[in-house]
Structures are given as structure tokens and as C-alpha cells.
A and B are shown apart, each in its own frame.
Chain A
Amino acid sequence: MSYLIDRRLNGKNKSTVNRQRFLRRYKKHIKQAVADAINKRSITDIDSGENITIPDRDVKEPIFSHGTGGDRSTIHPGNKEFVPGDQLPRNGSDSQSGRQASDSGEGLDDFIFQISHSEFLDFMFEDLELPNLIKRDLMGSKSFVYRRAGYTTTGTPNQINIVRTLKTANARRIALGGGSRKKLEKLKAELLELHGQLSPDTEKISVLEEKIAAIAKKLKRIPFIDSFDIKYNLSIKQPLPSSKAVMFCIMDVSGSMDQATKELAKRFFILLYLFLQRNYDHTDVVFIRHHTSAKEVDEEEFFYSRETGGTIVSSALKLMKTIMEQRYPVAEWNIYGAQASDGDNWNDDSSTCTTLLQHNILPQLQYFSYIEITNQDPQNLWHQYQLLAQQFPDVFAIQKIADASDIYPVFRQLFARRQS
């Protein structure tokens, strides 16, 4: 007797729990591997999974076993030229002791496995948080949730609430049959009394019995369940508040920014973007590049087109302010700003920037980060921003990046979970 069962539709991730426990156990190793990976990777594949390598000795499950040494004989297949009495050197490649050593001894191989993209991001952004509370908004939300909201008399059969329905039906039966039942009891009592007499009055009895039968029939006609007894579970649609974020990427594209510097800036922007994407249902990105004047551009142009000219940072901030006013009402949007520059600015422009940020931009923002990509000493803009950072410690942060390996640590520093 055989049964054939198709199990393909059953859940396939039976091992998920085990896998998560494994990842949790080796968190330290994996985090290290993730941090290394971010620094090593090219920009474009920051979005894929990662091979994680853990030293084998750390994941090994120890058991009692034999070590090397002692007196052992082993049988092997495929003899070619050996005859009894042959003596072989112990460490030759044609001897079998090498094999045995790796069977029982410690293998030097590392344990390698793959984590998925989302697991990668989990580890990447672990312990980071967005510094300011997320605003949620009902407008424009696309998702709904159904919530229970009592009972109703109309609905589809699958929503019938049986307990409630039977309660109502029971109440109705009691209410409708109440009078008749009382009468019935009374008549039955009378009948009993008549039967109890020494000489029962048969005529009276038959009359009573007829009456009883009539009432019983009437009672029986009360339906057990009636259409208006049926109650349905009522569920109503409630919009789920969704969170939206816009990220302004501001970059200096003046002559002093070379391609390598832009790459660094791009990495930082991508990290920030991925991070926002994880925290918000919907994320917009606005690219603003500037030299002496600012322009909103698309991603391609933002990172790859070359222009030269002087540097006036305030032009970009002005444009950002205009765009915020036109398209991103503060009430609905969580606004983030990220500015990357090599620190170059027109000398008397830096104070304009400070004023602009101080009065018009920062009060509206969730967070604004400025990174200066340079090996040299900070310039004018940095000093101005430093003052501002003291004024707005919660929303404004500045950091310096010298090369690619700084990006992830700096990012973690900017968004490290704060002790409250």
C-alpha cells in the first residue's frame, strides 16, 4: 500500500528558525564580515547578499574523537603496486596518512555561507536609528487594514457569527412563545388536576387536551432560526498611516571635486538612502548639485556629469528651501538633508549658508548631515557649520571622511542609537 503526497506547496522555510538562531549566535562574526564587505564593495552591488566567512574552529561542535597517533591499521581500495612488507614514508603525497589527519584532526577550512540581501541590511543597520521621531500621515496612504467593529445584520455567509446568531434566535423564541407557554403550563396543570380526581370528567379532559395540542402546535410554528436572527461580524476598513520621507542630496560639483571624491559622496548617499528606505514606506530622493548656481537633476547627471566653476553653497540650500516649500509640506513629509562637499566655498557665502540653515531649513528638517571629503585641514564652511552643530545638536551633524574605509564608521556614528 502506498500513498503519494504532493508537499511542494507546504512551507519551504522550515529551517528559518534554525537559521535565525545560527545567525544570532554568530552575530559578532557576521557583523565584522558585513562591515568589511561594505568597505570592499563597489557601489553598484551594495544591494546584494554576501558571503560570510567564519573560522571553522568557532562553529565546530565538539565530540569525543580519536586524535592522531597510536597504532592503527586501515583498509584502502585501489592497490596498484604494493606488496606486503612495503614501507612507505609517512608524509608522502601517495601515503594515506594525510587523509586520516584531516579526517580526525582540525581542518583549517573556514565555514562559508551566504546571507541574503535583507539579512545583510539587517546587520548593516543594526543598532542604528533615525534620530528624530517619524511623522506618520494618513493622506495618500494606500494600505488599509480591516478591523472588527461589532456586528451587523447584513453580510456574507462567511462572516456569520454563530454564537451571536443563536443568542438572538433563542431570545426571539422565548419572547414570541412566552404567552402561549404560560397558557400551556396552566392547562397542563389543570389537566393533571383533572386526572387526579377520583372520577375524571372525560369531556373536560378531551377539551383540555385539544387546547393543549393547539397551543403546542402554535409553539412549534415558531421558527428555530429566522432570517433576522442572523448576525454578521462587521469589519471596517481603516487606512494605515504611512510614512514618507524625502532625502535631499546636495553635492558640490565644482572643479575641485574629482571623480574619486564624488564616488565617496555617492557611497554615503546610498547608505543613507538604503537606511531611509528601511524606515519609511515611501522614500523620495531629490538631487541638487551646485557650483556657483544650483540645479535639480536626475541621478545619472548628479553623479557623472562634469562641470566646472566656482562654489557657492548657499545656492543649493536656497533651491532646497524652494523645493521643500513647493512639493514637500512639512506636515506630511519627513525631510532629510545630506550634503557632501570638499569644503570649498566662496568666502563670504558660508555665513549666508549658516543663516539659511538656521532660520529656514533646520527647523523643518528631521536631520541634516554634512560630510566633508578631504584630507586637508577644514576650511571656512566647516567652521561655520561647527557652530551650527552646537546650536542644533539633534538635527545637525557634521563629519569628515578621508577615504572609503571611513564611510561606514562615520555613517554608524551619525546614526548611532542614542541613550535616552
Chain B
Amino acid sequence: MKPAKQKPRYISTGSDWSFSLIEQYEEAIDTIAKDFGLDTYPNQIEIISAEQMMDAYSSSGMPMLYHHWSYGKHFAAIDHSYRRGQMGLAYEIVINSSPCIAYLMEENTMTMQALVMAHACYGHNSFFKGNYLFRTWTEADSIIDYLLFARNYIHRCEQRYGETEVETLLDSCHALMNYGVDRYKRPHPISAEKEALQQQQREDQLQRQVNDLWRTIPGGKSDSENSTPAPFPLEPQENLLYFIEKNAPLLEPWQREVIRIVRKIAQYFYPQRQTQMMNEGWACFWHYTILNEMYDRGLVNDAFILEFLQSHTSVIAQPPFDSPHYSGINPYCLGFAMMTDLRRMCEHPTEEDREWFPDIAGLPWQQTLQFAMRNFKDESFVLQFLSPKVIRDLKLFCAHDDDRLPHIEITAIHNNAGYQRIREQLAGQYNLGDREPNLQVHAIDVRGNRSMHLHHYQYNRKPLGKDTMQVLKHLHHLWGFDIHLLSLQDDEVTESYHYPEIVAADHPQY
């Protein structure tokens, strides 16, 4: 039940913003957010110009990152399309840190600033603080310090070993960045001070361990000669960058440290890649709820709310599959639809909801949403909460494309028979392990030519992409010795890649 609209006492009526206005709006949003029970890190709101926004944008939104040509490339591309009016800039960038840094662009109107504050400073911020992935995988307090440490370290390396040397190393690391994450093991929190302190010790230590592995002098007569060495690694390794950092025979200590830096940053972004849809949906839900509440409390006028709704609807627009603008499911749209639907199921449950979601139908909506936000990622969120109503509203359907069949087949649509299948399929689409090829270090030829043998376990017979050889080249650059990659479908090798390429058809079997 919404309270009757209160007597208006607008904070402002024009579209221009000023610092004092932003502060007043922020205060109002803060009050409402607290009323709704949002728990956030402190906010650091920074006003920046469009060009600064492009700067931030091109370096993954981080306020400081080491220098690399690829960020220059992104900047050039963004700059080009922005100048030609092909794209608007992101309204906001928000950084998972404590205090949570959000950028507001000076070109925005007051309405947009309020929208961005509600979206970023309260929506995303509370998500960063609450979601279990962020809580276990990232340290919001120390990321900025760590980035600073990383940038300084890489800068020193550039001075000492040359820019080109560092650049080629970073190129190779970036190619494998998605394979620099521990998917199951909780990593140690990163802290800049400790990093700097431990870095020297680590260098020495690491080098010693590596040397041990590759020791060529026989240790003693007893255990050598005819006994076969233990396989290495004992278990397949999925974190390629970590494996290389610890075991590559020829890397210098500083190179191991650079690999570590890229790995840590990949780790920092890992939760974001797994929760994009939820995160945006959560933030959209809250900016929508908060700004509407402001309207109901008489803090903003009709012009404000209309401008807001116009931006809001364009953000959550979902073009249908046959539209020229279609580029997959809009995470903002799906996320917002699911969050809104959760609230609806709590407040106004139907018979269908009671059947599908007996646990949450009719419960207090704020706690339910908080629970969903805290304990799920995109994949499990869809699997758990995608309701028939959302499927119907978005008219989702499942297309099955098997390259052995001449046709694409529609296997499920938004009807009783299809809900479950659509839900499972869509959840699978958000599963990182499904989206990215599953590659593992299978064996290292420790006593022989030190070559690395990788296995790719195919999922639904999906082959590797065209870039594979390029990536292997980078992997070879890091490892320093031959790379062999076998693509397996049910223990059967369907494709093999070798770098450097083997001329003869046969390759070592093991």
C-alpha cells in the first residue's frame, strides 16, 4: 500500500545541477535507502568531465591501472564513436571499493545525477557490500592501494627491463587473464602493504621452488634410474596463470610478479563477470524504487520523474530477437524484470507463484530481495527465481542449434511445458564454465623437453575458436617450451593444437 502523495516540497525544479543540490538529493536518497534497509559502504562521489569518463572507461573503469597499449586502443575506439555521436557514454562508473567510488558526469542533468546516485551509490554499492561472491573474493578496502602498488611495480619494471619487454609479457598475460582465477578456492585477501613487503621474499622463495622442480642433478642413486618420476602436476590445473607463475622454468622473478598482478586483477573482476545481470538488475530496481519514492514523498516534480522514466525505459529496453538492434538478452532488462517480479510475488502472489515459489510468495519483500541479492550469482539466481511470469513477459524461447542437424529447432517457448527448460538453459548461459572453454594443464614433461600438455574438455561438442593458436603462442611465450593442446570429447581427441607447430602428423601420446 503506497501512502497518499504528500504535499510537494521539491528539492529543485530545473535541470541544472549544483554541488549543494547534489548534496541535498544525496541526503534524500540516503534517507529513503536507509528506510528500505540498504546497507552500503560509504560513498565517494566524484564529478568528472566526459573526457575523464572516457579515460576511466577505457581502463576497465579503474581509477588507476598500469599502462598498456590495449587501454589506449579502447580509448581510441570509444573516443571515435563518441565524437561521431554513435554512442552515448555510460552514465556512471562505480568501483567496488570502500569508500565506494562513483563518477558523475558534469554533462548530466540534475535528474540524471539523481538517477546515477540512486543506481550506483546505493544500488551497486549495496550489492558490492552484500553479495557473497564479492564478500569472499574481493577486498573492497584495499583494492585501490593494490592497484597503486601494481602500477608502480610495473612502471619500475619498464624502467629496468624496457617497455617492450614488459608489454609483450602483459600481452601474453592478458590473453590468459580469464584463466588466472581460482574458481573454487578462496584466495588470500590482497593488501598493498603486505604485497610490497612480501614481494621480495616471494621472489627468492619462488625461484628456489622452481629450481627444485627442474633440478637436473640426480639427488641420490637410490631414487633415480629406473623408478619413473611422479607425474606433474599431480592433479590437472585450471588456473593457468597461477601454474605458470609458480612453475615456469625460465621466468625471471619480476616476470612472475607481473603475472601475479594480472592474476590478482582478474580475480578482482571475477565476481563482476559472474553477477553482471543480477548486479545491474538490483541497481535498476533500486533506482526505480527510490526515485519513485522520492516522487511519492513530494521531493521531485513531474518533469523530473518523466525525464527519469524516459532514461530508465531506454536502459532496460529489450529488442526482440529479430530486431537489427538485438545483441542478446539485455542484462539490465532481465535483472530488473526478475527483481521487480520478486517483489510482486511477495506483495501480490498469485496461485501460480504459490505453486512455483512456495517459499517466498507472500513474504516481506525487502528481506526476500536482500536474501536473493546476498546469496546468488547470475546462474543460480536464474535457476532459483526465474518465474513463469517473467518468461511470459519477455516471451522467451529456446532455440536448439546442433551442427549435425540441418535445422535449428525451437525446443521450448513460454508455456507450461517450456518454463523449466527455458529456466535451465538460461541459467546455463550465465555459467562462466559453460561460456568459456574448459582448459586444464594435464601434464608437464618434467624429465624430457619440458613441454606442457593441456586438455580441453568439450562441452556439448563445442570446438575451440579461431584465436586458439594465437593464444597458444602467448602461452608458449610464458612457459618457454613446447605447448600441446588436445581437445577432447568424451575422452576422444577430436582436435589438437601444437605450438610451435609440428610438421609431422604424429604427436607424442601419453
Contact = CB atoms under 8 A, between A and B. Distances in A.
Contacts of B322: 78, 80, 94
Contacts of B362: none
Contacts of B73: 22, 59, 111, 113
B49 A70 contact: no
A78 B318 contact: yes
B43 A60 contact: no
Q: Which 9 A-B pairs have the closest CB atoms?
A: A78-B320, A22-B72, A18-B72, A70-B462, A113-B76, A62-B470, A62-B467, A87-B407, A65-B465
A15 B55 contact: yes
21 contacts: A3-B44, A4-B23, A7-B47, A7-B103, A8-B106, A18-B75, A22-B70, A22-B73, A61-B175, A62-B175, A64-B439, A66-B435, A66-B437, A74-B399, A74-B425, A76-B399, A84-B411, A84-B413, A97-B401, A99-B328, A114-B80
Interface in A83-104: 83-90, 94-97, 99-100, 103-104
B409 A66 contact: no
Nearest to A60: B467
B46 interface: yes
Interface string B29-40: 010000000000
Contact of B474 (A4, A15, A62): A62
Interface string B200-240: 00000000000000000000000000000000000000000
Interface in B155-205: 163, 167, 171, 174-179
Most buried by B among A12, A13, A77, A87: A77
Interface stretch (B140-148, B352-360, B389-397, B442-450): B389-397
Q: How large is the interface on A (under 10, 10 to 19, 20 to 34, 35 or more residues)?
A: 35 or more
B418 interface: yes
Counting chain B CB atoms within 10 Å of each CB, the highest count among A2, A17, A20, A95 belongs to: A2
B364 interface: no
A72 interface: yes
B411 A73 contact: yes
Given A21-B163, A64-B436, 19 more contacts: A3-B45, A4-B47, A5-B47, A7-B47, A8-B48, A12-B49, A12-B55, A13-B55, A63-B471, A64-B179, A64-B465, A66-B435, A69-B461, A70-B458, A74-B425, A75-B422, A76-B326, A90-B407, A103-B328
A72 B464 CA distance: 14
A21 B407 contact: no
A10 interface: yes
Interface string B418-457: 1000100110110000011101000000000000000000
Contact of B463 (A62, A67, A89): A67
A299 interface: no
B109 interface: no
B349 interface: no
B321 A15 contact: no
A52 to B, nearest CB: 9
Contacts of A65: 436-437, 464-465, 467
B320 A77 contact: yes
Contact of A96 (B19, B321, B402, B437): B321
A286 to B, nearest CB: 38
A348 interface: no
B463 A69 contact: yes
Given A3-B43, A78-B323, A96 B408 contact: yes
A60 B55 CA distance: 20
Contacts of A76: 321, 326, 329, 396-397, 399
Nearest to B101: A5
A105 interface: yes
Contact of B48 (A7, A64, A75): A7
Given A62-B175, A64-B178, A75 B396 contact: yes
Contacts of A134: none
A2 B72 contact: no
A114 B45 contact: no
- Most B CB contacts (10 A, CB to CB) among A14, A25, A103 go to A14
Contacts of B481: none
A222 to B, nearest CB: 48
Contacts of A326: none
B54 interface: yes
Given A63-B178, A114-B76, A15 B59 contact: yes
A69 to B, nearest CB: 5
A113 B79 contact: yes
Contacts of A5: 44-47
B377 interface: no
A97 B394 CA distance: 20
A90 B436 contact: no
B236 to A, nearest CB: 16
A21 to B, nearest CB: 4
A75 B408 contact: no
A99 B403 contact: no
Contact of B461 (A23, A71, A88): A71
B44 A2 contact: yes
B185 to A, nearest CB: 21
Nearest to B44: A3
B9 interface: no
Contacts of B474: 62
B409 A2 contact: no
A61 B174 contact: yes
A19 B83 CA distance: 16
A68 to B, nearest CB: 8
Nearest to B104: A4
B72 A87 contact: no
Nearest to A114: B80
Nearest to B76: A113
A188 to B, nearest CB: 52
Nearest to A74: B399
B69 A83 contact: no
A15 B318 contact: no
A112 interface: yes
B123 to A, nearest CB: 15
Nearest to B393: A77
A307 interface: no
Contacts of B329: 75-77
Contacts of A106: 466
Contacts of A59: 73
A193 interface: no
A2 B471 contact: no
A8 B460 contact: no
Given A15-B58, A60-B467, A79-B397, A21 B68 contact: yes
Contacts of B71: 15, 18
Nearest to A90: B408
Name, among A70, A90, A104, the residue most crowded by chain B CB atoms within 10 Å (CB to CB).
A70
A71 to B, nearest CB: 4
Residue from A61, A75, A82, A85 having most chain B Cβ neighbours under 10 A: A75
B399 A96 contact: yes
Interface string B281-320: 0000000000000000000000000000000000000111
